[in-house]
């Protein structure tokens, strides 16, 4: 009597041992790709917003987002009021230009330097001047793109805080 080695049972066991490893590698690669996409989208949004804020002159805002319809056509808006320090207007601009992968409720930090109080005339007080560097620091909680179960919990346990992506964009003010 001959014993057959390497039959269907062995193949099934080998398959069962290899599949979880391959799935983990594929899911890890997808997670890294999504994190890179979030980082690039966030950097683009921060740079675009900083540039818009730095080169824009005074005009009225269309009101809270998502009232983005007023941006179409020949509207004077979007125009920043950087001399007034009104951060709500830059958030409106951000929300109207938000890439689909980013969620506006996930921003944990949106900070301008030099800082200016909301409603303060930053130009008259000398806080901001033309030809001065204006820096925007943005922090984003990227758990909305976490596809691996428990990844956020593991990172929170390792680092003691919610996983965030931080980007910085700077522009020179023109007005």
* Selected residue with higher pLDDT from 113 and 66: 113
What gap in Å lies between CA 55 and CA 103, rounded to an integer?
26
How much is the mean pLDDT over the chain?
A: 78
Tokens 């830059």, residue located: 90
DSSP 48: H
Kindly indicate the confidence band of residue 65, based on its pLDDT and cuts at 50, 70 and 90: low
| 85 φ/ψ angles, rounded to the nearest 5 degrees | 70, 25
Is the pLDDT at 102 greater than 90, yes or no? yes
Q: Residues 115, 90: contact at Cβ < 8 Å?
A: no
What gap in Å lies between CA 146 and CA 72, rounded to an integer?
34
* Selected residue with higher pLDDT from 122 and 36: 36
Predicted confidence at residue 73, as pLDDT, reads 45
What gap in Å lies between CA 41 and CA 33, rounded to an integer?
12
Kindly indicate the confidence band of residue 82, based on its pLDDT and cuts at 50, 70 and 90: low
Q: Which of 115, 167, 108 is nearest to 137 (CA)?
A: 167
What gap in Å lies between CA 106 and CA 164, rounded to an integer?
10
What gap in Å lies between CA 113 and CA 126, rounded to an integer?
13
Predicted confidence at residue 152, as pLDDT, reads 67
* Beta strands, E only, the chain: 107-113, 133-141, 164-172
CA 166, 105, 42, 24 dihedral sign is positive
What gap in Å lies between CA 128 and CA 72, rounded to an integer?
30
Predicted confidence at residue 94, as pLDDT, reads 85
Q: Which of 73-77, 120-124, 130-134, 139-143 has the lowest mean pLDDT?
A: 73-77
């Amino acid at each position: 009597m001959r014993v057959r080695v390497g039959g269907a049972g062995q193949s099934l066991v080998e398959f069962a041992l290899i599949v979880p490893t391959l799935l983990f590698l594929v899911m890890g690669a997808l997670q890294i790709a999504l994190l890179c996409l979030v980082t690039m989208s966030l950097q683009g949004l921060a740079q675009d917003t900083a540039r818009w804020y730095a080169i824009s002159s005074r005009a009225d805002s269309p009101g809270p987002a998502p009232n983005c319809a007023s941006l179409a056509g020949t509207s004077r808006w979007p125009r920043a009021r950087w001399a007034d320090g009104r951060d709500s207007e830059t958030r409106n601009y951000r929300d109207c230009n938000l890439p689909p992968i980013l969620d506006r409720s996930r921003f944990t930090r949106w900070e301008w330097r030099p800082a200016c109080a909301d409603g303060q005339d930053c130009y008259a007080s000398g806080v901001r001047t033309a030809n001065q560097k204006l820096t925007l620091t943005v922090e984003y909680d990227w758990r909305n793109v976490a596809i691996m179960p428990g990844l956020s919990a593991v990172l929170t346990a390792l680092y003691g805080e919610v996983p965030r992506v931080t980007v910085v964009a700077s522009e020179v003010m023109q007005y």
